[in-house]
Structure 1
Amino acid sequence: MSERATGERRLPAGTAAAVLLVAGIAVLGLVLALTGRPSRSAAPDAGSAPAATAAAGDAVPPATGCAPRDTDPSLPQEPPADVTWSVVSTAVLPTSAAAGPTRFEGPVARCYARTPRGALMAAVNLFYRVGLAAPRTTVAQRQVVAGPGRDEMIRQLRQVDEQVRPGELAQVAGYRFVSYTPDTTVVTLVNGSAAAGSLKSLDVTVQWQDGDWKLVARPDGWTSTPATSLHSLVGFTPFGGV
């Protein structure tokens, strides 16, 4: 496990299984774990601030000092050439010195290039990492666009207390760009396994804000569209570390 993964040991199933839609159910904290185990709701933290005020991460300065080198404006037909993969809790996530992330602060992986490749790397990392943080709301507060969707996400993240065991989490398997601008990008991610017949696709949106890409949450707290089952990766670019 890489040094970047230090402190990223917990992966609440109520977030990861829901956010990653492995079972095709998408509501945070209201899902079945991959093994069919019912999610457990944790008792509310009496000392926790209401979700609407849990935005301390907004005070984090823009991504100054970042140095991703990628400047290619074309949509990638292949993943970044310098991608390496690291285990972060139960997820295998990509890093690119050219496209990002290039800065790691606990569970937060930031500094992405403002290019299609940077947006792709952000979409994969933020989509998975939002369920890996300890405390659970760290990534949501710092790397999800502020608004009702993030508030609802944080509210739900505070209420779940369950883990996905190694081997249960569907890993990223491919991607396809839906749309790209330097300000907003929509990427269809595929996770699961073709061999196991568990491939699913879902759309993830990232937005350029405060000098970096951030994840966009829907008003209901979802971090993606509902999942669609696939039979193969035809039409998608394979992209995965397992």
Structure 2
Amino acid sequence: MGLFSSDRDADGDSDGEGTSVFAERGFIASAIVIGAVLICLVVWFMLGGRSDNPTAGPSQTPSTLVPTGQPTDTGPTGPPATPTEQPTATKTAPPPPNSHTGGCHDHSPDQAIPRVAAPVGVSWQFEAEMLIPLQAAGGPATTSPDGVRSCFAHSPTGAVLAAMVLLGQIQNPAVGIAALRSRVIAGPGKTAALAAAKDDRATPPTMAGELQFSGFKVLDYTTTRTIIQVVANLENKAYGAMPVTMQWSHGDWYAVLQDDGTFNGSVEPDILSSLSGYVRFSGAS
């Protein structure tokens, strides 16, 4: 089971597309169904001991459904957009792997929600084959010995960075397991994802693709949780958007999984005809 799901799984889809992160709709199925963020997690998960993760109580765990009154996407009115960007790492010097300033160490970070302009001062580094954003101010400010990045600013920008960095790290077989175990809120969803990964870990991915971030939209933000629509493109063929919920706990942002072990539960992915209404944010030149 992938961490993103689609209602079409119950219809007996034979292409295994329910395991992709940005699952597609209809005619563009083969374009968006990639392991995207977390495709075929079973290949990368392994058994591990319990981690000292924060736990989410029933009143803390947010839903990935867009709250009433928040902007929503009604879906494309035409054919999906065709990305043309080619990913390249930026030349901006990345923040140090461990820092005592910035990230979660900043006690008064900027609380402005990025709605038009992308965060500044960002460098992009490859996490395996995927570019992830790093910012001295927003984080990550800490990198563990096993390569997991953490310590993000308690701000909307910090939450965006935390979501994208986590998605990129789970995509990386070298750190994916550790990232899932230490950067996801403990609960039924995390347990379900790990259990499914354990059952299917010997099954190699049937589909692969080059996934790169293209942008985002902050759908809802409070100081305790945020919902971010993350946009990615697959091999410059189409844009796909999925909601990711992040929760502030124990001094950092952690991802929240639905009870079925996915990020989105029953919320269908959006196939975008353009990035209108989204903040363009990518490591492509």
What TM-score, normalized by structure 2, do the two folds share?
Answer: 0.63
2:262 is the alignment partner of 1:222: yes
Give yes or no for contact 2:21–2:34 (8 Å, CA) kept in 1.
Answer: no
2:112 counterpart (64, 68, 74): 74
121, 137, 142: which one aligns with 2:182: 142
Q: For residues 148 and 127 of structure 1, what CA distance do their matches in structure 2 show? A: 19
Contact 1:173 1:191 (8 Å CA) reproduced: yes
Q: What's the secondary structure of 2:119's corresponding residue?
A: coil
In the alignment, the residues of structure 1 paired with residue 118 and residue 41 of structure 2 have an alpha-carbon distance, to the nearest angstrom, of 37
Q: Distance in 1 between matches of 2:141 and 2:229?
A: 23
Residue aligning to 1:20: 21
* 2:277 aligns with one of 225, 235, 240: 235
Partner of 1:155: 195
Q: Secondary structure at the match of 1:130?
A: helix
* Cα distance in structure 1, aligned partners of 2:111 and 2:210: 32
Question: What is the deviation of 1:23?
Answer: 4.6
Say whether the 8 Å CA contact 2:230–2:243 is kept in structure 1.
yes
**CA contact under 8 A between 1:100 and 1:113: conserved in structure 2?**
yes
- Distance apart, 1:223 and its partner CA: 2.0
- Unaligned regions of 5+ residues in structure 1, if any? 1-12, 26-31
Contact 1:152 1:219 in 2 (8 A): yes
Q: Give the match for residue 141 of structure 2.
A: 102
How far apart, in 1, do the equivalents of 2:52 and 2:206 lie?
26
Question: Which 4+ residue blocks in structure 1 deviate beyond 4 angstroms?
Answer: 13-17, 22-25, 39-42, 63-66, 163-166
**1:37-56 → structure 2 map (5 Å cutoff):** 48=47, 54-56=49-51
RCO comparison, higher one (Cα < 8 Å, 6+)? 2
Residue 20 (structure 1) shift: 2.7
User: What TM-score results when the alignment is normalised by the length of structure 1?
Assistant: 0.73
Shift of the 163–65 alpha-carbon distance from structure 1 to 2, 3 Å rule, reads farther
Q: Who is 1:211 aligned against?
A: 251
Structure 1 pair 66–145 and aligned structure 2 pair: CA distance change class (3 A): farther
Amino acid at match of 2:111: P
